[in-house]
Amino acid sequence: MSDTQNAANAAEQAPSFQIQRIYLKDLSLEQPNAPQILLEQEEPQLEVQVDIGALRLDDNNFQVTLIGTVTTRIKDKVLFLVEAQQSGIFEIRNMPEEQVDPLLGIACPTILFPYLRSNIADMISRAGFQPVHLSEINFHALYEQRLQQAASGQAAANQESGIILPN
């Protein structure tokens, strides 16, 4: 075999991680108590939840979806609710299986988060409110937390809860 063929074979076998596509999968805004609640003078309370979903599309391609929900309330009434799903298709080749899960749970959400944050802020400002700028999220710490929960059997109970960020 020539050196060129060896180099080509080595390149084909080298681990790779590539973004195939980033897209907004879903985005919605609800103002269920408008217009009456818009006249309220009280400061609204903000709740932000973020969750991650991953789906294997084929041997090498994965869809990762970052799901963000922003709910703003005045007293016990919803001022507005924004739900967004920012997705990406990622190609992972020749990677040991134990390295794939951290890529899906840490690297991919880190790539998607700025898009999610921008889309949520834009939707809120287009609805006539001051934009909500989501704080950075340490997806590595979240991933480690989920591993610990899974190890202690709490994963099933907390699977739908996601991340809840303080005001």
**What's the DSSP call for residue 160?**
T
Surface-to-core class of residue 83, CB atoms within 10 Å of its CB (0-12 exposed, 13-18 middle, 19+ buried): middle
Helix (H) or strand (E) holding 66: strand 61-74
Domain 17-159 coded CATH 3.40.50.300? no
For residue 14, the tally of other CB atoms under 10 A from its CB is 9
Q: Note if the pTM is more than 0.85.
A: no
What are 65-82's pLDDT values in tens digits?
999 999 999 999 999 999
Place 152 in a pLDDT band, splitting at 50, 70 and 90: confident
Report pLDDT for 167: 40
The 3-state DSSP composition of the chain as helix, strand, coil percent (nearest 5) reads: 35, 35, 25
Report pLDDT for 4: 63
36-64 core/surface letters (b: 16 or more CB in 10 A; e: else): ebeeeeeebeeebbbbbebeeeeeebbbb
Sheet holding 163-165, edge to edge: 16-30, 77-93, 61-74, 45-56, 163-165
What percentage of the chain exceeds 90 in pLDDT? Answer: 73
CB within 8 Å of 114: residues ≥ 6 apart: none
The answer to whether the beta carbons of residues 108 and 64 sit under 8 Å apart is yes
For the cut 60, the answer to whether the pLDDT of residue 165 exceeds it is: no
For residue 139, the tally of other CB atoms under 10 A from its CB is 22
Mean pLDDT of 145-158: 74
Give, in order, the Cα–Cα distances in Å from 150 to each of 9, 19, 55, 155, 159.
39, 28, 18, 5, 10
For residue 126, the tally of other CB atoms under 10 A from its CB is 10
User: Cα separation of 56 and 61, whole Å?
Assistant: 6
Place 166 in a pLDDT band, splitting at 50, 70 and 90: very low
Work out the mean pLDDT of the chain and round it to a whole number.
Answer: 88
Domain boundaries, the chain: 17-159
